């Protein structure tokens, strides 16, 4: 009898815990990963849901079997369940539980590969993308717009419905650029330029944060990505150009020093600041990303 109550308690504890998590994860804007606003985040969410369903095919029987077996074959006087101490082989059963997981991994592996390859391409092919060069610094984010020739710190504005080509590097320890509602993260690494395609299909302000630990000020490396319709985006660019001061090498050197600061914006950027940073630290680009300028100009600018 005591045993019975105990096992019931295990079950209840388990059920309670999972019920709470499930209830809490019943979406809502707080659950950013489950509430994506663009095609990248959506595709990742689909994969997440698929993986939940596929793993549940194994997990639920395991949990059910465990409860059933422990209950039925407990060592209790008068338990009439069969006791076969030498029964220890069954080809059929073994084939079942080697086979089913292999099939599941096959399916999940296929869709994983498919999504992985899809995400290295721009989400839309017929809309010209916008490039944003991102540099993680100690402990702030610098966003440069090579097309618009402006820059911001600790926030970025993007047009809705347009694929954004985030090019990522770091001029400090490795960080990771993560805007959960737009999609998954990618590391920023010194001496390397990495690409992350993201896109917002709704206007709004989306939380972003560095995801990889970089020391004392790391907890304060949050930023917002603000998505606006294209015309408002260009209006914003014009106002930044009209009202802010330029980003010079001197200003950049100041920014580079470890500190926690608020948001700012700059009316212009030095032409080779970003690629110069990548080159100064090693100069590796993901395949197909090498910028058009000649290497010699970049090397010059890197020794500023």
Which residues in 173-192 contact Cu ion (CB under 5 A)?
189, 192
Cα–Cα distance measured from residue 110 to residue 116, given in angstroms and rounded to the nearest whole number: 10
Residue closer to other proteins (CB basis): 85 or 128: 85
Residue closer to other proteins (CB basis): 7 or 241: 7
In angstroms, give the least distance from the CB of 124 to other proteins: 18
In angstroms, give the least distance from the CB of 293 to other proteins: 21
| 168 is an interface residue for Cu ion by CB under 5 A | no
| 237 is an interface residue for Cu ion by CB under 5 A | no
Residue closer to other proteins (CB basis): 66 or 261: 66
- Strand pairing category for 222-228 and 155-159: parallel
Residue closer to other proteins (CB basis): 57 or 239: 57
In angstroms, give the least distance from the CB of 265 to other proteins: 23
Measuring CA to CA, which residue among 273, 35, 40 is closest to residue 163? 40
| 150 is an interface residue for Cu ion by CB under 5 A | no
Instruction: Name the one residue in this structure whose structure tokens are 């097309």.
Output: 147
The C-alpha torsion from 238 through 243 and 249 to 254, rounded to 10°, is -130
Burial classification of residue 203, based on how many CB atoms lie within 10 Å of its CB (0-12 exposed, 13-18 middle, 19 or more buried) = middle
In angstroms, give the least distance from the CB of 269 to other proteins: 23
In angstroms, give the least distance from the CB of 154 to Cu ion: 24
CA-CA distances (angstroms) from residue 49 to 21, 79, 111?
Answer: 15, 42, 12
Select from Cu ion, other proteins, none the partner in contact with residue 248, using the beta carbon and a kind-dependent cut-off of 5 to 8 Å: none
Residue closer to other proteins (CB basis): 17 or 261: 17
Select from Cu ion, other proteins, none the partner in contact with residue 159, using the beta carbon and a kind-dependent cut-off of 5 to 8 Å: none
Measuring CA to CA, which residue among 167, 176, 209, 173 is closest to residue 190? 173
**29, 35 Cβ separation under 8 angstroms:** yes
In angstroms, give the least distance from the CB of 108 to other proteins: 6
- Going residue by residue from 188 to 227, which x/- string records binding to Cu ion, judged by CB under 5 A? -x--x-----------------------------------
Select from other proteins, Cu ion, none the partner in contact with residue 213, using the beta carbon and a kind-dependent cut-off of 5 to 8 Å: other proteins
In angstroms, give the least distance from the CB of 88 to other proteins: 4
**Reading across the β-sheet that carries 183-188, which strands appear in turn?**
155-159, 222-228, 204-210, 175-179, 183-188
Burial classification of residue 182, based on how many CB atoms lie within 10 Å of its CB (0-12 exposed, 13-18 middle, 19 or more buried) = buried
Residue closer to other proteins (CB basis): 112 or 232: 112
**298, 274 Cβ separation under 8 angstroms:** no
Residue closer to Cu ion (CB basis): 55 or 254: 55
Which residues contact Cu ion (rule: CB under 5 A)?
A: 189, 192
């Amino acid at each position: 009898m005591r045993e019975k109550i105990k096992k019931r308690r295990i079950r209840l504890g388990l059920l309670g815990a999972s019920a709470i998590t499930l209830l809490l994860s019943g979406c809502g804007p707080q659950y950013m990963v489950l509430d994506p606003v663009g095609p990248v985040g959506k595709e990742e969410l689909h994969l997440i849901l698929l993986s939940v369903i596929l793993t549940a095919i194994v997990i639920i029987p395991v949990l059910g079997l465990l409860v059933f077996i422990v209950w039925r074959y407990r060592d209790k006087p008068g338990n009439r369940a069969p006791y076969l101490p030498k029964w220890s082989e069954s080809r059929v059963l073994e084939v079942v539980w080697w086979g089913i997981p292999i099939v599941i991994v096959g399916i999940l592996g296929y869709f994983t590969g498919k999504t992985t390859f899809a995400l290295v391409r721009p989400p839309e092919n017929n809309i010209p993308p916008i490039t944003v060069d991102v540099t993680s610094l100690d402990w702030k984010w610098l966003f440069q717009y090579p097309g618009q020739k402006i820059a911001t710190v600790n926030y970025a504005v993007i047009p809705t419905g347009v694929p954004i080509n985030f090019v990522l590097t770091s001029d400090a320890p490795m960080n990771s650029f993560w805007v959960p509602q737009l999609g998954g993260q990618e590391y920023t690494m010194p001496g390397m330029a990495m690409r992350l395609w993201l896109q917002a299909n709704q206007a709004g302000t989306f939380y972003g944060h560095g995801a990889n630990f970089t020391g004392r000020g790391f907890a304060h490396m949050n930023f917002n990505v603000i998505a606006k319709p294209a015309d408002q985006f260009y209006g914003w660019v014009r106002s930044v150009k009209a009202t802010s001061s330029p980003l010079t090498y001197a200003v950049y050197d100041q920014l580079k020093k470890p500190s926690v600061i608020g948001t700012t914006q700059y009316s212009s950027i030095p032409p080779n600041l970003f690629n110069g940073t990548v080159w100064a630290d090693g100069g590796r680009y993901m395949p197909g990303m090498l910028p058009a300028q000649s290497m010699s100009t970049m090397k010059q600018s890197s020794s500023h």
